[in-house]
């Protein structure tokens, strides 16, 4: 083993390394799947796509998974899975997997395979040079909600405490930053309060800016199991699949949610549909909120939202008198220019009506990616490991003592946010960027500009499963990563359930688990002594448990991976000393105590602000974006690798446009159209449908042209991008001989 190129490098520089430091069994085709799996056994693991966190069974032949089925005993999915779960092995077999580190020649633009030794040497050489020349704020990383928590924590600790840099962010900024900020300000900690059983126990479910039929199909199955004949309310400008299945649909004007929700709160007060006892005992700010709401009269709200007065009253009555009410939101709320206050307006409705801490209630943010919740607690980005604060000296001292490192290694400031990191690259302050498990060049807002910004970097590293992603293609160095199913660790799902991911496949070629890549780079940097205790994902899990201790998310009562496996995942909190077989589905705040010193929740509110880019004569349509089908995942880097998933969704981009708008513009069904904003243009096939209202169009986010168009506005508190609305024009494209296909950027 010592003759392996990785081993020789570190043997020479930093003394001998043991096989377990860098080489996991199975990587480089050596060794086998971990001993706890029998060669022809069936084992269980949590799905690696969305935050539902379904349990899957992997069926192994000769120690390697050959197919997957949903786990009937897992408390989340009860034997169900969506197409992505069934097909989760297919992306691992793709021919464009990165199987060796690849270094790009800047002159020719060509990539050549290099050894891990050369890759690590080059990585550390560039980052060290930049640190020495330009200081600790001159390099950053952008990470993800799609690697295991142990890897996220090691990455954040390595970059900040080991390599001594300050700034990093995660793609959860695009997704969950709003929920995290809203919960922290309202509840005192980033704590989604629900369990999935709340879907089944509500009398009224209010979904705002969420389309679970497409984005969280198994959560939707849980809604369908509700025996209480619930009212299902959908607030979404589009008549989505979920809206069509709802009992009440409020097709509000895009970006008018805050006004709408204040209008509902006004009516709750006006009609006495308030749980005064709960408000008095457990909240702060209700009187001020009530005075603030005086101006949000039904007339004003009806005019601003397009929802008639009587329908506003209908909704307020349903919420105020409907029994157990649960409020659910996703990206239609989080991806807006005033998203934090909008999420808090929903939280306020739950607090005012006492709909929290009881079965079938809650102010419930549905998470997106499989481990966005892990990244919120352990990314070490805006909060210090375990939901601590970088700015609190006592938090830094606590974390330093658990990690047995010098407290001065922990920065006393939080990181710059994603958009600010990009600004710093643009202005030349940041010179090197490391991108892990995200495809920014497709997914970031207004990405036409992103390419030119990233071109300014001295050094761009991309660590991904594939060498073919838009972001990998412009990297200087590609680090080949093992994917879900090829490594071990834990994810945290939307209902705070920690679930286990197992290695059921060998990674191809020289691809390594992200965990091993981070250890390898720590060794090459020379800071490996700081991370001695992080010898394996499971050893890291023991560190995470200690970091969580004393926090609302305390899970020190989980023994080890075997405990998680046997229990079917375990929700936080589970402090030390708790029963080892806790109730399988638990919600927070049953005692009405929130995470502030006075244990009261805060009602936070603020007047709505104008939308950033309203439509006008040149760009008369509002562009909505989001998930297109349950078979498509984000930038398609994974789901496009499955023939089955490809067959379940359109191959080319499509745009939903109202029949009257289509007729007015001379657009026939399936015709190619050009969609243009002030920032760029793209083409798509017209899907003429009244799921969208007049003056609005919808593009799925899965095709790269979409973010050529989007307007870079950000919520000021969460700095989450406002992906969901900008102004565009739509015109038919007359086919030219030899013209480009639908979905590509038109010339000129
Ligand atoms: N199949 C599939 N599933 C996924 C994903 C995927 O890529 N594919 N991604 C996962 C991730 S990371 C996430 S974050 C979730 C996202 O899950 P969702 O948020 O449910 O999905 P989106 O389609 O992005 O947005 C939801 C709805 O917001 C609506 N909307 C747009 N503007 C407004 C507005 O102003 N107000 C209101 N009220 N609604 C508005 C859109 O019409 C859309 O129907 O899905 C997860 N699940
Ligand atoms: N217009 C518009 N844009 C949007 C949105 C929208 O609604 N509208 N939604 C936003 C949201 S909510 C999100 S979450 C983002 C998602 O945007 P991205 O995070 O950019 O999307 P993905 O395609 O999931 O990219 C993940 C990458 O990680 C790689 N990967 C997967 N597993 C691993 C692993 O274990 N290790 C490593 N190293 N790599 C791995 C995959 O191959 C893939 O290239 O998009 C955002 N962009
Ligand atoms: S619903 Fe989400 S977690 Fe469940 S199988 Fe589908 S993608 Fe996986
Ligand atoms: Mo997301």
User: Does residue 659 lie within any of the structural domains?
Assistant: yes
Report d(CA 727, CA 696) in Å as an integer: 9
Bond before 573 cis per omega within 30 degrees: yes
- Tell how far the Cα of 634 is from the centroid of ligand 2, in angstroms: 6
- Residue 235 and residue 144 share a domain: no
CA 144 to chain centre: 7
User: Does residue 141 lie within any of the structural domains?
Assistant: yes
- Tell how far the Cα of 333 is from the centroid of ligand 2, in angstroms: 19
The residue whose CB lies within 8 Å of the most ligand 2 atoms, and thus the one to mutate among 89, 152, 171, 518, is: 171
Predicted local confidence at residue 13, as pLDDT: 42
Report d(CA 658, CA 12) in Å as an integer: 66
Say yes or no to pLDDT of 308 above 80: yes
User: Does residue 69 lie within any of the structural domains?
Assistant: no
CB 634 less than 6 A from any atom of ligand 1: yes
Q: Answer whether 25's CB lies under 8 Å from 506's CB.
A: no
Q: Which residues contact 282 (CB under 8 A, 6 or more apart)?
A: 351, 592, 593, 594, 599, 600, 601
* Mean pLDDT to the nearest integer, 31-59: 84
Q: Answer whether 659's CB lies under 8 Å from 688's CB.
A: yes
- Write down the mean pLDDT value for the chain: 94
- Residue 147 and residue 198 share a domain: no
The total of other beta-carbon atoms located within 10 Å of residue 565's CB is 16
- Residue 326 and residue 234 share a domain: yes
Q: Show the DSSP H helices in 404-533 as ranges.
A: 418-426, 440-443, 447-454, 514-525
pTM score, whole prediction: 0.95
- Residue 249 and residue 135 share a domain: no
pLDDT band per the 50, 70, 90 thresholds, residue 37:
low
Report d(CA 650, CA 653) in Å as an integer: 7
* Mean pLDDT to the nearest integer, 151-157: 98
Predicted local confidence at residue 736, as pLDDT: 55
Residue 77, judged by CB atoms within 10 A of its CB (0-12, 13-18, 19+), counts as buried
312: left (phi over 0), alpha (psi -120 to 50) or beta: alpha
Report d(CA 699, CA 675) in Å as an integer: 10
Predicted local confidence at residue 33, as pLDDT: 56
CB 168 less than 6 A from any atom of ligand 3: no
Report d(CA 79, CA 57) in Å as an integer: 10
Say yes or no to pLDDT of 264 above 80: yes
Beta bridge partners of 464: 480
User: Does residue 398 lie within any of the structural domains?
Assistant: yes
- Residue 530 and residue 387 share a domain: yes
pLDDT band per the 50, 70, 90 thresholds, residue 10:
very low
- Tell how far the Cα of 509 is from the centroid of ligand 4, in angstroms: 30
* 487: phi then psi, degrees, rounded to nearest 5: -160, 170
Predicted local confidence at residue 476, as pLDDT: 98
Beta bridge partners of 687: 656
The DSSP call for residue 206 is E
- Tell how far the Cα of 635 is from the centroid of ligand 2, in angstroms: 6
Query: CATH number for the domain including 199?
Result: 3.40.228.10
The DSSP call for residue 704 is T
CB 53 less than 6 A from any atom of ligand 3: yes
- Residue 339 and residue 293 share a domain: yes
- Tell how far the Cα of 715 is from the centroid of ligand 2, in angstroms: 20
Q: Which residues contact 244 (CB under 8 A, 6 or more apart)?
A: none
- Tell how far the Cα of 455 is from the centroid of ligand 4, in angstroms: 26
Predicted local confidence at residue 448, as pLDDT: 86
CB 47 less than 6 A from any atom of ligand 3: yes
- Tell how far the Cα of 173 is from the centroid of ligand 1, in angstroms: 15
Say yes or no to pLDDT of 591 above 90: yes
Residue 205's SS3 state is strand
* 631: phi then psi, degrees, rounded to nearest 5: -95, -5
Residue-wise pLDDT for 441-494, tens only, equals 999 999 888 999 999 999 999 999 999 999 999 999 999 999 999 999 999 999
User: Does residue 660 lie within any of the structural domains?
Assistant: yes
Say yes or no to pLDDT of 748 above 60: no
Say yes or no to pLDDT of 145 above 50: yes
Query: CATH number for the domain including 691?
Result: 2.40.40.20
Q: Which atom of ligand 2 is nearest to the CA of 442?
A: 20
* Residue recorded with tokens 């030119």: 452
Predicted local confidence at residue 414, as pLDDT: 87
The last residue of one of the domains, among 309, 330, 365, is 365
User: Does residue 585 lie within any of the structural domains?
Assistant: no
SS (H, E, C) 303-368: HHHCCCHHHHHHHHHHHHHCCCEEEEECHHHHCCCCHHHHHHHHHHHHHHCCCCCCCCCEEEECCC
Nearest CA to ligand 3 atom 5: 85
Handedness of CA 210, 213, 218, 221 (dihedral sign): positive
Predicted local confidence at residue 28, as pLDDT: 41
Share of the chain above pLDDT 90, in %: 91
Predicted local confidence at residue 16, as pLDDT: 37
Say yes or no to pLDDT of 242 above 50: yes
Nearest CA to ligand 3 atom 4: 54
Residue-wise pLDDT for 527-564, tens only, equals 999 999 999 999 999 999 999 999 999 999 999 999 99
Report d(CA 419, CA 400) in Å as an integer: 29
Report d(CA 447, CA 167) in Å as an integer: 21
Query: CATH number for the domain including 114?
Result: 3.40.50.740
Q: Residues with Cβ within 6 A of ligand 2?
A: 144, 146-147, 171, 174-175, 331, 335, 368-369, 436-440, 442-443, 463-466, 469, 481, 483-484, 514, 625-626, 634-635, 637-638, 701, 706-707, 710, 723
User: Does residue 528 lie within any of the structural domains?
Assistant: yes
The residue whose CB lies within 8 Å of the most ligand 1 atoms, and thus the one to mutate among 332, 608, 642, is: 332
- Residue 308 and residue 227 share a domain: yes
- Angle, helices 514-525 vs 116-134, to 10°: value is 60
Is residue 185 within a helix (H) or strand (E), and if so which, with residue range?
Answer: helix 177-187
The last residue of one of the domains, among 349, 365, 381, is 365
Q: Answer whether 684's CB lies under 8 Å from 742's CB.
A: yes
79: left (phi over 0), alpha (psi -120 to 50) or beta: left
Report the side by side order of strands in the sheet with 570-571.
489-492, 497-501, 570-571
Is residue 44 within a helix (H) or strand (E), and if so which, with residue range?
Answer: strand 42-46
The DSSP call for residue 407 is G
Residues with CB under 5 A from ligand 4 (ion): 175, 368
- Residue 462 and residue 333 share a domain: no
CB 630 less than 6 A from any atom of ligand 1: yes
- Tell how far the Cα of 175 is from the centroid of ligand 4, in angstroms: 4
The residue whose CB lies within 8 Å of the most ligand 3 atoms, and thus the one to mutate among 44, 85, 211, 633, is: 85
- Residue 681 and residue 630 share a domain: yes
Residue 441's SS3 state is helix
Residue-wise pLDDT for 389-445, tens only, equals 999 999 999 999 999 999 999 999 989 999 999 999 999 999 999 999 999 999 999
Q: Answer whether 301's CB lies under 8 Å from 262's CB.
A: yes
- Tell how far the Cα of 659 is from the centroid of ligand 4, in angstroms: 30
The per-residue b/e assignment along 17-47, b for 16 or more CB within 10 angstroms, e otherwise, is beeebbbbebbbeeeebeeebeeeeebbbbb
* Mean pLDDT to the nearest integer, 352-358: 98
* Mean pLDDT to the nearest integer, 499-513: 97
Q: Are strands 696-700 and 111-113 parallel, antiparallel or unpaired?
A: unpaired
Report d(CA 468, CA 478) in Å as an integer: 10
* Cα within 13 Å of Cα(534), Cβ side: 30
Residue 746, judged by CB atoms within 10 A of its CB (0-12, 13-18, 19+), counts as middle
Say yes or no to pLDDT of 11 above 70: no
Predicted local confidence at residue 743, as pLDDT: 52
Report d(CA 98, CA 92) in Å as an integer: 11
- Residue 342 and residue 278 share a domain: yes
Report d(CA 382, CA 172) in Å as an integer: 11
Q: Which atom of ligand 3 is nearest to the CA of 216?
A: 1
CA 621 to chain centre: 28
Report d(CA 638, CA 747) in Å as an integer: 29
Q: Answer whether 155's CB lies under 8 Å from 518's CB.
A: yes
Looking at the 3D structure of the chain, how many domains does it have? Answer: 3
Residue-wise pLDDT for 42-54, tens only, equals 999 999 999 999 9
The alpha carbon torsion through 437, 442, 444, 446 (nearest 10 deg) reads 170
Q: Which atom of ligand 3 is nearest to the CA of 88?
A: 8
Report d(CA 451, CA 454) in Å as an integer: 5
CB 85 less than 6 A from any atom of ligand 3: yes
Return the percent helix, strand and coil in the chain, to nearest 5. Answer: 35, 20, 45
Name the token pair of 397.
């001292």
Q: Which domain holds residue 267?
A: 193-365
CA 641 to chain centre: 21
Residue-wise pLDDT for 95-134, tens only, equals 999 999 999 998 999 999 999 999 999 999 999 999 999 9
Say yes or no to pLDDT of 6 above 50: no
Name the token pair of 170.
């995660």
- Residue 542 and residue 401 share a domain: yes
Q: Are strands 204-208 and 283-284 parallel, antiparallel or unpaired?
A: unpaired
The last residue of one of the domains, among 345, 365, 385, is 365
Report d(CA 620, CA 622) in Å as an integer: 7
- Residue 401 and residue 347 share a domain: no
- Tell how far the Cα of 138 is from the centroid of ligand 1, in angstroms: 34
The total of other beta-carbon atoms located within 10 Å of residue 276's CB is 11
Say yes or no to pLDDT of 747 above 70: no
What is the end-to-end Cα distance of the chain in Å, rounded?
A: 56
Q: Which atom of ligand 2 is nearest to the CA of 471?
A: 44
Q: Which atom of ligand 1 is nearest to the CA of 216?
A: 47
User: Does residue 318 lie within any of the structural domains?
Assistant: yes
In degrees, rounded to 5, the angle at the alpha carbon of residue 649 between the alpha carbons of residues 645 and 655 is 150
């Amino acid at each position: 083993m010592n003759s392996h190129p990785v081993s020789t490098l570190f043997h020479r520089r930093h003394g001998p390394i043991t096989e377990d430091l860098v080489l996991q069994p199975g990587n480089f085709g050596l060794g086998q799947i971990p001993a706890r799996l029998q060669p022809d056994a069936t084992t269980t693991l949590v799905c690696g796509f969305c935050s539902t966190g379904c349990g899957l069974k992997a069926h192994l032949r000769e120690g390697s998974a050959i197919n997957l089925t949903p786990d009937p005993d897992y408390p989340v999915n009860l034997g169900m899975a969506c197409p992505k779960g069934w097909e989760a092995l297919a992306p691992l077999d793709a021919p464009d997997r990165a199987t060796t580190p690849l270094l790009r020649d800047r002159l020719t633009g060509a990539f050549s395979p290099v050894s891990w030794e050369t890759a690590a040497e080059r990585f550390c050489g560039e980052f060290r040079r930049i640190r020495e020349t330009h200081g600790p704020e001159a390099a950053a990383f952008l990470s993800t909600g799609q690697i295991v928590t142990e890897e996220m924590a090691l990455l954040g600790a390595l970059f900040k405490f080991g390599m001594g840099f300050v700034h990093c962010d995660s793609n959860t900024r695009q997704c969950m930053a709003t929920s995290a900020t809203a919960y922290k300000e309202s509840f005192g900690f980033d704590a989604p309060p629900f369990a999935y059983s709340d879907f089944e126990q509500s009398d009224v479910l209010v979904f705002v800016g969420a389309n679970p039929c497409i984005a969280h199909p198994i959560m939707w199955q849980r809604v369908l199991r509700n025996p209480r004949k619930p009212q299902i309310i959908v607030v979404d400008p589009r008549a989505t699949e979920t809206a069509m299945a709802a009992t009440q649909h409020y097709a509000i004007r895009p970006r008018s949610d805050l006004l709408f929700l204040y209008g509902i709160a006004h009516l709750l007060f006006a009609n006495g549909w308030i749980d005064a006892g709960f408000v008095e005992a457990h909240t702060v700010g209700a009187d001020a909120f009530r005075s603030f709401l005086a101006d949000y009269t039904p007339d004003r709200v009806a005019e601003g939202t397009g929802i008639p007065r009587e329908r506003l009253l209908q909704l307020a009555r349903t919420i105020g008198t409907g029994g157990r009410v649960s409020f659910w939101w996703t990206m239609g709320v989080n991806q807006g220019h005033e998203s934090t206050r909008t999420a808090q307006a929903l939280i306020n409705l739950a607090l005012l009506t006492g709909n929290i801490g009881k079965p079938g209630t809650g102010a419930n943010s549905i998470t997106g990616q499989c481990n966005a919740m892990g990244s919120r607690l352990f990314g070490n980005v805006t909060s210090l490991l375990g939901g601590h604060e970088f700015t609190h000296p006592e938090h830094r001292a606590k974390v330093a003592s658990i990690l047995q490192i010098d407290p001065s290694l922990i920065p006393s400031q939080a990181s710059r946010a994603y958009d600010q990191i990009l600004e710093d690259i643009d202005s030349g302050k940041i010179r090197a960027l490391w991108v892990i498990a995200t495809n920014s060049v497709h997914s970031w807002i207004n990405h036409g500009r992103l390419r030119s910004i990233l071109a300014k970097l001295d050094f761009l590293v991309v660590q991904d499963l594939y060498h073919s992603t838009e972001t990998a293609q412009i990297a200087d160095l590609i680090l080949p990563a093992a994917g879900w199913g090829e490594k071990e660790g834990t994810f945290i799902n939307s209902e705070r359930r920690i679930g286990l991911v197992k290695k059921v496949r060998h990674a191809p070629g020289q691809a390594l688990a992200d965990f091993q890549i981070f250890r390898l780079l720590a060794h090459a940097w020379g800071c490996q002594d700081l991370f001695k205790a992080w010898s394996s994902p499971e050893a890291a899990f023991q560190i995470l448990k200690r970091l969580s201790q004393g926090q609302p998310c305390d899970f020190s009562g989980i023994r080890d991976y075997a405990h998680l496996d046997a229990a079917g995942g375990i929700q936080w909190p589970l402090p030390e000393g708790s029963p080892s077989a806790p109730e399988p589905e638990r919600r927070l705040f049953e005692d009405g105590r929130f995470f502030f010193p006075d244990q009261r929740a805060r009602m936070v509110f603020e007047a709505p602000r104008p939308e950033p880019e309203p439509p006008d004569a040149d760009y008369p349509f509002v562009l909505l974006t989001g998930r297109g089908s349950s078979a498509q995942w984000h930038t398609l880097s994974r789901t496009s690798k499955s023939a089955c998933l490809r067959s379940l969704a359109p191959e080319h981009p499509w745009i939903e446009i109202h029949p009257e708008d289509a007729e007015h513009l001379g657009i026939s069904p399936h015709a190619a159209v050009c969609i243009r904003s002030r920032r760029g243009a793209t083409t798509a096939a017209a899907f003429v449908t009244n799921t969208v209202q007049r003056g609005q169009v919808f593009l799925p986010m899965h095709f790269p042209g979409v973010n050529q168009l989007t307007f870079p506005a950000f919520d000021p508190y969460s700095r989450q991008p406002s992906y969901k609305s900008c102004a565009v024009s739509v015109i038919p494209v007359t086919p030219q001989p030899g013209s480009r296909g639908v979905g590509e950027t038109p010339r000129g």
